Structure 1
């Protein structure tokens, strides 16, 4: 039996709790969540867990085998450093790993010195249609040359203290939301970014919001182009006021042999019941010769869809992290991976803000 300690049990932390409880041979030993409403919701999901008042109290529990960090973005590095100083257990830490260039330097020290495994949570890698696309992309394209990632989705959800409404605490939209996609670009292209160009704005979603006199400064739409050292290129198209779309994520990879696409629906709980069953994820193969699409359905276990908003990916990610704890697997998303995804996001933020191409 492996015992988890949870640091941060807001909306995403609760998704992690639901999925951890599906694993078997694990238990949630303790939870640290300062917000009373979120703490009550987390306790209802994991009644066996002790609710503790501080990170120190959590780390003092001798029964812990590993930690999940799902706190607001700007807290991750501070909490990892506290864990490193007190009790460096294996950690699954939510994206983004950090939010500023200063935190990037501290994360690099953790990457060098931390004595236990750290896995950065990049759930999108484990969405079944995206995972299938990654497996088949080389054969389907004959050597990928172009990659397009499109996300047309709902606005940012309400979070405790509105931390996701502000660049200072979220890192900005192209870090908070889009580090997932920059991670996928590196994963799919098997290459490193060398230049980032972006255009972005906050045009629709948050103009009327006010938090004690503060207006949100996050963006709700963007285009980002990334050049890679292999000569390949990728583009991100983000729109966060397009929740009426049938598919939320649409990835397309192209090469001399053909094209492969992954289509991922949004969270099942947001699909209008009057429109019938929610869309099924798909992978589409489009060879150049002979022409003709092959459409593959990639259904996801309904129990996993109920457990979270990431198309079953949170469960699959946890199952692989568990294999690391059991000594049968290895970390698949390293601190370096997490850092590079955020660095691309910070470069995109700067490019859009200053109107310049940013070299990496």
Structure 2
């Protein structure tokens, strides 16, 4: 009989609750302990995982003897301190939500963890596992070698979070870190290359301008473009708009090579689809060959139970399935390493810098 794997969770806001729901879909798992300081979020988390012990600190969570791993889903700016606290107290396998870090000065600490941490650390990059995006990655060879990659996300504004922490760059790392590190991770994964140069343009045009917290107006950006040149010679572009929630698809990815173009079309969360429009659109993948010329479209349906468990097109389930395989020794290492997490944030920070300075940023170690 397979041994039950016991999870501890740090942070059970909206994304933490999605993790709880998806862990609950996996056989042989149990949420043993939860640290969530906000009373309302803790109440919701307890309803999802009623047998979990509710604890008052990271130290109390680590004192729960049966823990096999920890999932960190706290606000962005807490991640590194919490990883280091776990490293010093009781190293356990970790799944750490993105972005891995927000302060460039934390890179040194993370590089030391990369060398010394004795257990696997998996950085949560759910977008890799969205079924239409996974299908695009699987079919990438059909392009004959991707030369151009474009990622468009047209979506809703940042949601309300506890204490409004996600309204300020000092907590999030900036929109192109908080929201877009997923896409920079996808660029490196799909192109199998590292960036060498980043240019960007963006700003805050619509969202949160009439909000004030403690006398301060939010400074997070709500739109922009990022251009990335890669060592392989490939080029990538990100287009972000966070006041376009009326769109049919939330993410549209296009990969083009000498033989074909492949597109992945990903709808947003079903709970945001307007009732008057009927059934939400299905994800699609389109392969447009040059010879014979023309597009071939295929639907990529997602299991209804996975859609009900979160807002990320079923991807959180597939991510957790992979993490569980690492915990059980069925998979050699995490799909998304600390190095991948570092690169994704560095690219986001370079985009923020390019917007702030109107200058090209060169990615030099």
Which band: TM-score by shorter chain? over 0.9
Structure 1 equivalent of residue 69 of structure 2:
66
2-side partners of 1:281 and 1:112: how far apart? 40
Question: How many Å separate the matches in 1 of 2:153 and 2:36?
Answer: 30
2:241 corresponds to which of 233, 239, 242: 239
**Secondary structure, in 3 states, of the residue corresponding to 2:186?**
helix
Once residues 211 and 103 of structure 1 are traced to their aligned partners in structure 2, the CA distance between those partners, rounded to angstroms, is 27
SS at match of 1:324: helix
1:164 aligns with 2:154: no
Q: Following TM superposition, by how much is the alpha carbon of 1:57 offset from its aligned partner in structure 2, in angstroms?
A: 0.4
Equivalent of 2:89 in 56, 63, 86: 86
Structure 2 residue 179 is the aligned partner of structure 1 residue 184 = no
Match in the other structure for 1:287 = 289
Query: 1:267 — aligned with what?
Result: 269
State the shift of 1:78 in Å. Answer: 0.2
CA distance in 1, matches of 2:252, 2:317: 21
* Residue deviations 1:223-250 (CA, integer Å, cap 9, x gap): 0000000011100000000000000000
For residue 125 of structure 1, the aligned residue among 125, 128, 141 is: 128
Q: 1:106 aligns with which of 87, 104, 109?
A: 109
1:31 aligns with 2:20: no
| SS of residue in 1 equivalent to 2:139 | helix
C-alpha distance after superposition, 1:26-62 (max 9, x if no partner)? 0000000001110001001100101000110000111
Q: Distance in 1 between matches of 2:286 and 2:165?
A: 37
**Cα distance in 2 between the residues matched to 1:100 and 1:147:** 28
Output aligned runs, 1:286-325, within 5 Å.
286-325=288-327
1:94-152 C-alpha deviation (Å, 9 max, x unpaired): 0000002101221111111100000000000000000000010122x111100000000
Match of 2:196 among 177, 194, 213: 194
- Identify the residue that residue 346 of structure 2 maps to in structure 1: 343
Please list every run of 5 or more consecutive structure 2 residues that lacks an aligned counterpart in the other structure: none
Give the Cα separation in 1 of the matches to 2:115 and 2:201: 34
Q: Of 279, 291, 307, which aligns to 1:277?
A: 279
Residue in structure 2 matched with residue 137 of structure 1 by the alignment: 140
* Residues in 2 aligned to 1:16 and 1:93: alpha-carbon distance in whole angstroms: 11
Write the deviation string for residues 150-171 of structure 1: whole angstroms up to 9, x where unpaired. 0000000001111111000000
How many residue pairs end up in the alignment? 359
The CA distance in 1 between the partners of 2:338 and 2:60, in whole Å, is: 26
Q: Describe how 1:47-62 pairs up with structure 2 within 5 A.
A: 47-62=50-65
CA distance in 2, matches of 1:127, 1:258: 22
User: Which residue in the other structure is 1:5 paired with?
Assistant: 8
Secondary structure of residue in 2 paired with 1:293: strand
Report the CA distance between 1:24 and its aligned residue. Answer: 1.2
Q: Hey, what's the Cα distance between the residues in 2 that align with 1:159 and 1:107? A: 26
Q: Partner of 1:224: helix, strand, or coil?
A: strand
Normalising by structure 1, we get a TM-score of 0.99
Deviates more, 1:154-163 or 1:99-108: 99-108
- Counterpart position of 2:23: 20
Deviation at 1:301, TM superposition (A): 0.3
Following the alignment from structure 2 to structure 1, what is the Cα–Cα distance between the partners of residues 103 and 175? 13
Distance in 2 of aligned mates of 1:83 and 1:122: 21
Instruction: Give every structure 1 segment of 4 or more consecutive aligned residues whose post-TM-superposition deviation is greater than 2 Å.
Output: none
Provide TM-score, normalisation by structure 2.
0.98
User: What is the alpha-carbon distance in structure 1 between the residues aligned to residue 103 and residue 21 of structure 2?
Assistant: 30
**Residue 251 of structure 1 corresponds to which residue in structure 2?**
253
Structure 1 residue 175 displacement after superposition: 0.1
SS of the residue aligned with 1:92?
Answer: strand
Q: CA deviation at 1:83?
A: 0.1
